[in-house]
Chains A and B, each alone.
Chain A
Amino acid sequence: MIRFERVSKRYPNGRDALTELSFEVSAGEMVFLTGRSGAGKSSVLKLIGLLERPTRGQVTVNGEDTARLPSRRVPQYRRALGMVFQDHRLLMDRPVFDNVALPLIVADSAFRDIDRRVRAALDQVGLLGRERVAPQELSVGEQQRVCIARAIVSKPPLLLADEPTGNLDAALAAEIMSLFRRFSDVGVTVVVATHDLPLVQASGLRTIELADGQLLDNGHRVAHG
């Protein structure tokens, strides 16, 4: 599903975010990307989401070499991803329904399908009946769930989450993780970047640990020869 082969990323300011990073995530698997701030977690997600392209190496998603994807095909590529952000990135001047419907609208879905699928997504995150509510009237946890509903509404095979529990208390964080587990159980590949180690350890799932843009294996950097 996702393959990083000796991927390096250097930003225009000269900072090396990733160095020779290699890993794989299978279809339907749920993995955690961990590491301290600046370890390269967000860079990995940006490379998968095609917000950035690698400086060297190859990123393959769903068998597609992202480096060779022309710009005009990027929107279509992103429609096969669901993205969850720590800051939710909701449109505060639009009701919950419009926020969740956005991925379907950009994909030119029929209006009747949009209505049905938005309700289904809100039902999955426990917000059915709150369609007409403005996001600022919701709690932080509810806003995060709206963000998750938006990410899953188009049923993407791959879900990326960047610090999805960063602003939540332990109970809400566990609830969100439970949601992700449910998506994984039905075949969605889930990649969660987080520095919430207790949550990761409690899950018992595979962890890809990063430090200074490199993979750690039992606390040691993995070298490529």
Chain B
Amino acid sequence: MASVANWGSRHGHALVSTTGHLARHGFATVLTVLVMGLALALPLGLDLLVRNVRAATGDFAEAVGLSVYFKPEVTEARARQLAKSAAERYGVASATLITATEALAEFRSQSGFGAALDALPENPLPNVLTVRPTPAAASPQQLEALRSYLSAWPEVDSVQLDRDWMQRFNAILALLLRTLWITAILLGAGVVAVVGNTIRLEIRSRAAEIEVTQLVGGSRAFVRRPFLYTGAWYGLLAGAMAWGLVASARAALSPSAASLAAAYGQHFELAGPSARELGYLALAGLLLGWTGAAIASQREIARSGPGHG
């Protein structure tokens, strides 16, 4: 029990002394943390960009719809029944019927061809059903499935689906997401490399101390301990800095984004990094920092020690 307490107090001592060491070398610490923080901020910024674009275009997705043109012989009453049936289907946000009478009246008022329309023996316009999917059911595959379903109705003449721009938009989002992952992996490797190199240089500058420690019986684990804590501190601080940088960028961009949305008659607020993301980012930074320090210390201490005979 006492040895466990000693072990705990040794780790606590290493943690505190490492903190002191970083504080004494404040400028170098800030530079290292800044480089790592910027590297971690970029994936987080990209992630927020994708999320905000998705949120901002959520209304567009709702605006995507299918125009269902009924055959001329379909009565208004039957069209209303079908509209009700469509509205009850899973994934359909709304199904609005524009009757042939309403369509003609609107056309008459907007086109200025009132006299010409009066000359027609009957209303040439069909009943049209405008179907809007829910955002969750607005993927190209789901829209295609809905189109097939509606086309299969015998009363339906044709179904028009404007999906090209949706496909392009989704492809752009998918590309952004993939870019985000690749960037995160590359920059994560960059963080490991930065910590590794910093720790490597620090080990070299403390070679004499390491040699003496090993000569008096210090194990490699004992010698590595402060360097591992240093790497973890770097990562933890870099994660917090990355979160702060992205939160600051969000605060700076928020008014502009709101103004832009207002110009289109929309209300939109940029989503920022959450407190939970601060935790994730700090944890990711800590693990990356620890990993970089572990790799560098494993290699360097084996080279710089007095040897084990």
Q: Please give the residue numbers on chain A whose beta carbons come within 8 Å of chain B beta carbons, in ascending order.
A: 49-53, 66, 69, 71-72, 74-79, 81, 83, 89-91, 102-103, 105-111, 150, 154
Contact = CB atoms under 8 A, between A and B. Distances in A.
Contact of B208 (A52, A53, A76, A89): A89
Contacts of B209: 91
Given A77-B217, A102-B212, A105-B10, 15 more contacts: A50-B308, A50-B309, A51-B215, A53-B309, A71-B309, A72-B219, A89-B215, A91-B208, A91-B209, A91-B212, A106-B219, A106-B222, A108-B7, A111-B9, A150-B216
B275 interface: no
B218 A106 contact: yes
Interface string B202-226: 0000001101111111111010000
A106 B216 CA distance: 8
A71 B9 contact: no
Interface string B1-24: 011011101100000000000000
B309 A51 contact: yes
4 closest A-B pairs by beta carbon, nearest first, are: A79-B217, A106-B218, A50-B309, A75-B219
Contacts of A51: 215, 306-307, 309
Interface in B1-59: 2-3, 5-7, 9-10
B217 A107 contact: yes
Given A52-B309, A89-B208, A110 B217 contact: no
A76 B217 contact: yes
A177 to B, nearest CB: 22
Contacts of A72: 219
A83 B2 contact: no
A83 B306 CA distance: 13
A105 B213 CA distance: 10
A103 B309 contact: no
A71 B306 CA distance: 12
Nearest to A109: B6
Contact of A110 (B6, B213, B220, B307): B6
A89 B306 CA distance: 13
Nearest to A147: B212
Contact of A78 (B2, B3, B216, B220): B216
B217 A78 contact: yes
Tell me what chain B mostly uses at the interface: helix, strand, loop, or mixed. helix
A95 to B, nearest CB: 14
Contacts of B215: 49, 51, 78, 83, 89
Interface string B179-223: 000000000000000000000000000001101111111111010
Interface residues of B, number: 24
A50 B212 CA distance: 14
A103 B222 CA distance: 12
Contacts of A71: 308-309
A108 B3 contact: yes
Contacts of A69: 309
B218 A74 contact: no
B7 A103 contact: no
A74 B308 contact: yes
Nearest to A104: B216
Contacts of A81: 217
Nearest to A71: B308
Contact of A106 (B5, B208, B217, B307): B217
Interface centre among B10, B217, B218 (most CB of A within 10 A): B217
B136 to A, nearest CB: 57
Contacts of A103: 216-217
A76 B219 CA distance: 8
Contacts of A49: 215
A160 to B, nearest CB: 10
B101 to A, nearest CB: 91
Nearest to A85: B215
Given A106-B222, A108-B6, A110-B2, A83 B216 contact: yes
Contacts of A106: 213, 216-219, 222
Nearest to B2: A110
B211, B214, B215, B222 pick with most chain A CB within 10 angstroms? B215
Contacts of A52: 307, 309
Nearest to A70: B308
Contacts of B211: 89
Nearest to A83: B215
B298 to A, nearest CB: 14
A102 B216 contact: yes
B20 to A, nearest CB: 12
A105 to B, nearest CB: 8
A66 B308 CA distance: 11
Nearest to B220: A75
A221 to B, nearest CB: 27
Interface in B288-309: 306-309
A89 B215 CA distance: 10
A74 B309 contact: yes
Nearest to B212: A89
